[in-house]
Amino acid sequence: MTSSRESRRHTTSSSSSSSSLSAKKSSSSPSNSTPLLSTITTTTTTATQFITNKRCPYAQKAWLALETSAVPYAMREVSLYGSGGKPDWFWELNPAGTVPIVVTVTSSSSSVTAEVDDDGKEGWEEVFADSELILDAIGNGRIVASDTMDTIDTNEDKEGALLLAGKMSEEENARVDRWRSAISDKLVPVGKSAVLGGSSSKLRSLLKEMNELVDEDGPYLVGNRVTLADCAAFPFLWRIDREFGIGGTEKENDEGKLRAWLDACVNTASMKRTIPVGVGGGGGD
């Protein structure tokens, strides 16, 4: 991150790992625009805003990571489509126009007031405009309030609590990375093709392959704790299950472990809270 408080915004997106910064401070004049964040009272030094659409599977990945990590956050939902389009403040945060976006605000006081308008971004520290980058930032502790890490540490045995990367072995982290790559590089394109009328046999073959990657003891993909692998996989495999079904009598041998994992996820409170009322897709990254 660039120097101290001289720059008020640090933007991280999938297209660039460098910072996109603005040194402009908030205008003291009144603004008629609707603030993105307004007067957040917190005992932590970091406030987190989650900008999302609940129907988007990419956004659900980030939502799962936030819920299972116990990071305090405020949610703001935006429409993906519609005649009014997305608001100007959204395009300024992410010119790509996709959800999810996570914005962190820092303050040295116990009361954080951060208002976003067209004139400035006082107090905005960092913008994460990509689902995979958000998962990375949560997993390595970059998106976390100062007093939250202790909460996570003391509740490690709580069902549905995210196991952070720093607390896993090298082998476990490698398995998480393998799952995340398999979802992004294989399942998403193959699943999309099948939904649009392509070959379902190719999808079934991939599901059989992924079934072999599921931890033998479970109940989650890499063991007895939720990891970023589960956060990355659940939104897409849940939708595929709704569309085509996973497991069942005919596919018990080929997809049985995936079926058991899905059942465990939908019965995990922190993950169940993210299940959308309607099934949708697109609009995210």
- Determine the pLDDT at residue 132: 98
Exposed e or buried b for every residue in 73-104, given b needs 16+ CB within 10 A? beeeebebeeeeebeebbebbbeeebbbbbbb
Please give the model's pTM, rounded to 2 decimal places.
Answer: 0.79
Specify the pLDDT at position 236.
Answer: 98
pLDDT of residue 85: 79
Check residue 13 and give its pLDDT: 76
Q: Which residue has the tokens 């429409």?
A: 79
CB 8 within 8 A of CB 107: no
pLDDT of residue 123: 52
Please give the pLDDT value at position 84: 72
What per-residue confidence (pLDDT) applies to 20?
32
Query: What are the average pLDDT values for consecutive 10-residue runs of the chain, which has 285 residues?
Result: 44 54 31 46 69 96 96 93 83 95 78 43 74 96 60 55 94 98 98 92 96 96 97 98 89 89 96 82 55
